[in-house]
Structure 1
Amino acid sequence: QEQEPIIQQRIQQAVDEVKTKSSEDKQKVLMDASRQLREALKEANAQSNSKENCWNCGRKATETCSGCSKARYCGTYCQHKDWDRH
């Protein structure tokens, strides 16, 4: 009976550790899902409004590719980033 409080304490510590680990795992899953959603929205936005939006990031485009006159970019940074695909 003297060990009973110690055993209960260890059980509670184990339960707390499992809860903490579970919470951390959930946070990682949510962060990954959020990242994937942002990427999907960026791609969908760029495809649906390609005449008005930057082909790299999906923001409002202000510049047009001088080579093809079709690709649109919000600035030189995004234009350079898209060179491998365009």
Structure 2
Amino acid sequence: MEQYQFDTQALIEGISLSESELRKEITEKFVGNSLIVGGDSELMKVHYHTDYPGKVIDYLASLGDIFDIVIENMDRQSRGEKG
């Protein structure tokens, strides 16, 4: 079993935070690991493992226009099931 159940990913347009600012905000607000943040002021991608993907997605939506949202259940995937 993975440490955190959900692989949470989204793209955000129109965000005013830098990569480092967004990384700091996410790690301070949400418990998880494997955070990857990349992009620029026009488009940013976030990838994060957490048990509360909805809260992370809600937060990201408050920062800009989100799309290409992916939430995968890593526990199911580790058992060979569809995630």
Q: TM-score, normalised on structure 2?
A: 0.22
More strand by share: 2
More helix by share: 1
Q: Mark the structure with the bigger radius of gyration.
A: 1
